[in-house]
Chain A
Amino acid sequence: MGRFVLRKPAESSSGAILSSACMDKEKNVWKGTTNNSWETCYGDENLITLKIVKNNPLFDIEWVLGTDHVATWNSQAFRLIARYGTNSSANDSAWKGPNIMDQHGTWTDGTSVCGRSSGIVHLWRPTGFNLVTGNYIKFAIQRWGDSSGTNHPYMNQSTEYTDGTQDNGDEWQGGSFFLRVRELDPAFVTCRANQINTSTGNA
Chain B
Amino acid sequence: MGRAVLYQPEQSSGGNILGMHYEQVNGPVRSSDQENGTWGNLGNNADHIRPASGSDGYTIKEAGSILHLRMNASQDHGTTWRSGTLRMKASGDNWGSSDVVGGIMHNSWSTGSHMFGDSGCYERFWEHGYSVGTVVRFGWQDSSHSSGRTWAYNCFNQESDGYGGGNGNTTFGNQWGMGLRVVEYKAGAISQMSSQSGMGPN
List the interface of chain A (C-beta within 8 A of B): 6-8, 12, 14-17, 60, 62, 64, 73-77, 79, 98-107, 109, 116, 118-123, 144, 146-149, 184, 188-193, 195-197, 199
- B17 surroundings in chain A (CB, below 8 A): 15-17, 188
Select which of B19, B22, B121 is within 8 A of A123 by beta carbon.
Answer: B22
Q: How far is the CA of A12 from the CA of B116 in the complex (A)?
A: 43
Q: How far is the CA of A143 from the CA of B13 in the complex (A)?
A: 41
Q: How far is the CA of A195 from the CA of B23 in the complex (A)?
A: 7
B72 touches A119 (CB 8 A): yes
Interface SS of chain A: helix, strand, loop or mixed?
strand
Q: How far is the CA of A50 from the CA of B59 in the complex (A)?
A: 30
Q: How far is the CA of A47 from the CA of B167 in the complex (A)?
A: 35
B70 touches A62 (CB 8 A): yes
Interface pairs A-B: 5 shortest CB-CB: A105-B116, A15-B15, A119-B121, A118-B119, A77-B157
Interface size bucket, B side?
Answer: 35 or more
Select which of A14, A103, A147, A196 is within 8 A of B76 by beta carbon.
Answer: A103
List the interface of chain B (C-beta within 8 A of A): 6-10, 13-26, 47-49, 55-59, 70-72, 74, 76-77, 108-111, 114-121, 138, 156-158, 172-177, 179-181
Q: How far is the CA of A188 from the CA of B10 in the complex (A)?
A: 17
A101 touches B179 (CB 8 A): no
A–B pairs, 26, beta carbons within 8 Å: A16-B19, A60-B20, A64-B121, A73-B116, A100-B176, A100-B177, A101-B172, A103-B117, A105-B116, A119-B72, A119-B119, A120-B119, A120-B121, A121-B181, A122-B176, A123-B179, A184-B20, A188-B17, A192-B48, A192-B138, A193-B47, A195-B22, A195-B26, A196-B22, A197-B24, A197-B26
